[in-house]
Amino acid sequence: MIFTQYYLDCLSQASYLVADEATGQAVVVDPRRDVAEYLADARAHGLHIVGVINTHFHADFLAGHLELATATGAWIGYGRRAQAEYPVHHLADGERIALGDVTLQIMETPGHTPESISVLVLEHAGDAVPYGVLTGDALFIGDVGRPDLLASIGHTADELARLLHASIGRLLALPDGVRVFPAHGAGSACGKNLSTERWSTIGNQRTENYACAPMSEDEFVALVTAGQPAAPDYFVFDAVLNRKVHDVFDPSRHARPLDLSEVLDLQRAGAVVVDARDPQEFAAGHLTDAQNVPADGRFAETAGSVVRPEQQIVVVAPQDREEEVVVRLARIGFDRVAGYLREPEGAFLDAPEHVRRASRLTAPELATALRSSQAPFVVDVRNPGEVRLGTIPGAVPVPLAQLPGRLAEIPRDRPVVAYCAGGYRSSVAASLLRRGGLDDVSDLLGGYGAWLSLAQPVG
């Protein structure tokens, strides 16, 4: 058996290639949209990708099923409840897919979504104990899939959580030694307590995973529906788009370099400038109304939180990273990239009237401002689990993913300061507030960690 895990850190996303070396038949599970790595590995091992399985309709990224099917002729498999615009091989509970002696067996594990499945991997068809199970977003390392993402398209969190309770019971009935390979790890918004570990075992999850402890269905529902991080707006867009026929990713299509006049024309026509440089570089000088989303971080997920899918995008990238930024946007289905600003530093020097600086306060400066007669309105853009650990006194919690829809709650008659854990999300939030028409906006250098170093009282 050939078994390969591919892990994409910026989306905390795992995909898998399983193959029988003797027959050369392979299946890829939960592929991302840029599929060159799977194709290269298949060529290197003399494999033919015969099938693509998505464990469910993903919400946090645009899967690569159409790309792989186009490149290899592979069938596309989903659970039996899945309905898509393209031809689907519906996989029934208990169905076996023989790649040779290596065999895959389908388990229906609904709950994160109605059509969710897990995939048992057997190194030999007759093995009593599977090598592992690909659990998709049903069972994570340290957590289970959140059941609330589809509330806007007709499925209640309560309904799905009850399905998930039964699915976790089925998975925990597998032998202790079965390896668990989930579709996501720490940092993903698909759960609230995901581990940094890339795999585990059923036995370890039974004893160490808080959501796998013995409990009633009602207790489970209350547990897994509470305290989930705010989901980025693009999640529903991707969950729907993964069901549809759409353009495949074209790695040969390169982003177009643009001069400043072209960028300004696009801005006037409604395009958003996504500046992917470091927050300090962005603060030193950026185009008016540019949206900062630093590339060194959870770039795609964050961009999908503050940019609408239908908006045209112009990229300002760190040096020599223009194509990388465009690919990372494409991974969440944001294909409307007009191009990138050629040599931004030179462009900014040539047209200073279009350039703005961003205010960033140190923790002592914020403490002083809060004691003044014109104290700023402080926005905490961390997730609820972080806020519960402590806040700056008087701060109003608005998770970054919710901020675009809650701009009306931010006052315009006083200074505003945004903060997060360390300064990444706060720069994103502050630039979003400026795009929304607020003038006096700063963010906190070093975030809440810097505030705590002042030994200030915690809210």
Query: Which of 210, 232, 203 has the alpha carbon at shortest distance from 299?
Result: 232
pLDDT given for residue 227 in this prediction: 80
Clarify whether residues 15 and 163 are in a common domain.
Answer: yes
CATH number at residue 160: 3.60.15.10
pLDDT single digits (tens) 320-359 = 999 999 999 999 999 999 999 999 999 999 999 999 999 9
Same domain, yes or no: 320 and 376: no
Whether residue 157 sits in one domain with residue 24: yes
- Is residue 46, in this structure, part of any structural domain at all? yes
In a domain, 458, yes or no: no
Q: Is 190 a catalytic residue?
A: no
Is residue 48 domain-shared with residue 137, that is, in the same domain? yes
Domain that holds residue 232: 2-241
Q: What is the pLDDT of residue 152?
A: 53
The first and second tokens of residue 110, run together, are 């609904």
Asked which of 356, 382, 397 is the last residue of a domain, the reply is 356
pLDDT digits (tens, 9 = 90+) for 382-422: 998 899 999 999 999 999 999 999 999 999 999 999 999 99
Examine residue 248 and state whether it is found in any structural domain, yes or no. Answer: no
- Quick one: 394 and 332 in the same domain? no
338 and 224 within one domain: no
Does 293 fall in a domain? yes
CA distance 96 to 22: 18
Same domain, 87 and 228: yes
Domain boundary residue, one of 356, 382, 405: 356
Pairing type for strands 359-361 and 377-380 reads unpaired
pLDDT at 191: 76
Say yes or no: 210 and 299 in one domain: no
Q: Among residues 334, 356, 378, which one ends one of the domains?
A: 356
- Residue 298 falls within a domain, yes or no? yes
Q: Which residues of the chain have pLDDT under 70?
A: 151-153, 455-459
Within-domain flag for 459: no
Whole-angstrom Cα Rg for the chain: 23
pTM over 0.75: yes
Identified catalytic residue from 10, 190, 212, 420: 420
Number of domains in the chain: 3
Q: Which amino acid belongs to residue 8?
A: L
In a domain, 221, yes or no: yes
| Same-domain check for residues 352 and 371 | no
> Whole-angstrom Cα distance, residue 97 to residue 112?
24
User: Cβ(125)–Cβ(139) under 8 Å?
Assistant: no
Query: Which residues fall within 8 angstroms of residue 327, CB to CB, at 6 or more apart?
Result: 34, 251
293 shares a domain with 405:
no
Based on the domain organization, do 145 and 51 belong to the same domain? yes
Q: Within its chain, how far is the Cα of 55 from the centroid? A: 16
341 lies in the same domain as 195: no
Contacts of 348 (CB under 8 A, 6+ apart): 285, 286, 287, 354, 355
* pLDDT at res. 237: 94
Residue 56 lies inside a defined structural domain of this protein: yes
CB distance 167 to 38 below 8 Å: no
Among 173, 175, 195, 176, residue whose Cα is nearest residue 184: 195
What local confidence, expressed as pLDDT, does residue 192 receive? 77
Residue 297 belongs to a domain with what CATH number?
3.40.250.10
Tell me how crowded residue 46 is: count the other CB atoms within 10 A of its CB. 10
